[in-house]
Structure 1
């Protein structure tokens, strides 16, 4: 595996507000995901990135509700990141997807071919829309929204699906050009019981 092109700062080198957030993540997960330090080389961008990330992936922090579950959001990230050939995001978000959905096989299935994955018809419709946004956003039309509505998604849910797809398109490209590699811990998360 190649090494990252941009060395990450150490935890001691990052501003205090960023360090505090990273330590919270480390406390919860037991390790520091590489993305947190990799992006901390540019503190203003780190803050903007994670503010938008949280608004999309943890909407309650932005004071709004969403028709998407946590598993749905991670499924969108995993499927579209696979389409963008982003190793970091497929592995990291696939791990979170396995945990939220409580299905050890789902992330691999979604990353390789979501149409054959063990997911609901509603999730398949969601991923159809996400993949079209990912690969052919200029072709989105009323029929695409109608397909979502048929599965109970609102126009606001469609916005969430599209925004998550677009945001992680940015993330995929940064991870790819910088050669950001997933932490080894992600590979087993949600596949085997967590070590205590």
Structure 2
């Protein structure tokens, strides 16, 4: 039996999009705030899921008021998503990283292979930790965190890095499992 996401171009995931007319006003507002992108349409099938997800994402990726600069949080999102093979998150956050860096080509190089992207020592340490936690969190050692401290990371920054890495692993697993397709706009 073929996968339904390949059989019909109008299908955006293995779940159908929510019937917007039956959604609560606040969830319709979330859809509008996120430009009716496929990911929020799919999550809106369960309004509570859409609310939780959007609130956490909004908090974790606020432009200011966080421990790590937005560019470092986007770097983590790209490395985790590329490692997991989550095309939806990888393309979305590669574009976001390109915007925050004002260098879309560099962001694409990072997504293709961060080992060859000329990262700074600080970026390399974050990417290494993101890859390690994504592949096998049990092999993280005190030395991994000490390397971050040596590079000037504070304890709150280290915790936010781990939180961001873990959250993207969570997010990737949702979208990979549901087969959520990236929106067409990400390909132009």
Q: Do the two structures share a fold, i.e. TM-score over 0.5?
A: yes
Q: Which runs of 5+ in 2 are unaligned?
A: none
Counterpart contact for 1:74–1:97, Cα < 8 Å: yes
Matches within 5 A, 1:13-162: 13-26=22-35, 32-58=36-62, 65-162=65-162
Paired with 1:178 and 1:76, the residues of 2 have a C-alpha distance of 22
Counterpart contact for 1:34–1:180, Cα < 8 Å: yes
Q: By how many angstroms is 1:74 displaced? A: 1.1
Counterpart contact for 1:67–1:153, Cα < 8 Å: no
Cα RMSD after superposing both structures: 1.8
Q: Which runs of 5+ in 1 are unaligned?
A: 27-31, 189-196
Q: By how many angstroms is 1:76 displaced? A: 0.6
Paired with 1:153 and 1:118, the residues of 2 have a C-alpha distance of 20
Counterpart contact for 2:77–2:89, Cα < 8 Å: yes
Aligned length: 179
Q: By how many angstroms is 1:142 displaced? A: 1.4
Paired with 2:177 and 2:183, the residues of 1 have a C-alpha distance of 17
Q: Under a length normalisation based on structure 1, what TM-score does the superposition of the two structures give?
A: 0.84
Q: Under a length normalisation based on structure 2, what TM-score does the superposition of the two structures give?
A: 0.87
Q: By how many angstroms is 1:40 displaced? A: 0.4
Q: By how many angstroms is 1:22 displaced? A: 2.4
| SS in structure 2 of the partner of residue 9 of structure 1 | coil
Counterpart contact for 1:77–1:89, Cα < 8 Å: yes
